[in-house]
Amino acid sequence: MTTDSGLPVSAPPSGQPSRRRILGWPSTRLGWWSIGLAVAFVILMTINSAVFMRLPEDITWRVTVLPFYGIFMLLCGLAAGIVGLIAVIRQHERSWLVWLTILPGLFALVFILGEFLVPH
């Protein structure tokens, strides 16, 4: 595009306004995956605190199942944060839901680092 004077004019930005993209639903597959993983993490965490942590310690299967359950739960949270961060950085996802999925990732990362760095 050129003006009457012959100087080039940049084309107007295409796509949705940024405000609408922030308040709307995710527009990428990675954004939806991060939301799904974050929801799975929240559900697993709720089940863990409401059911498993209230069980008596003398139940035999608790010692076998809970470590795997906890690792799977933390991996869901960590994966939600990583996938959400990739969606935000590489695919320019701006939905507030995808930004929110970074929080479970940070929570899982802090928990994992605390297990390795602080002896108990």
- pLDDT tens track for 57-91: 888 888 888 899 999 999 999 999 999 999 999 99
More confident residue, 83 or 15: 83
Q: What is the mean pLDDT of the chain?
A: 85
Q: What is the Cα–Cα distance from 52 to 47, expressed in whole angstroms?
A: 7
Q: Give the ranges where the chain is alpha helix by DSSP (H).
A: 18-23, 29-50, 60-90, 96-100, 102-117
Q: Please check the confidence at residue 14 and state whether its pLDDT lies above 90.
A: no
Q: What is the Cα–Cα distance from 69 to 55, expressed in whole angstroms?
A: 15
Q: Please check the confidence at residue 6 and state whether its pLDDT lies above 90.
A: no
Name the residue ranges covered by the structural domains of the chain: 26-117
pTM score:
0.77
| Residue 52 pLDDT grade (very low, low, confident, very high; cuts 50, 70, 90) | confident
* Predicted pLDDT of residue 119: 79
The fraction of the chain above a pLDDT of 90, given in percent, is 54
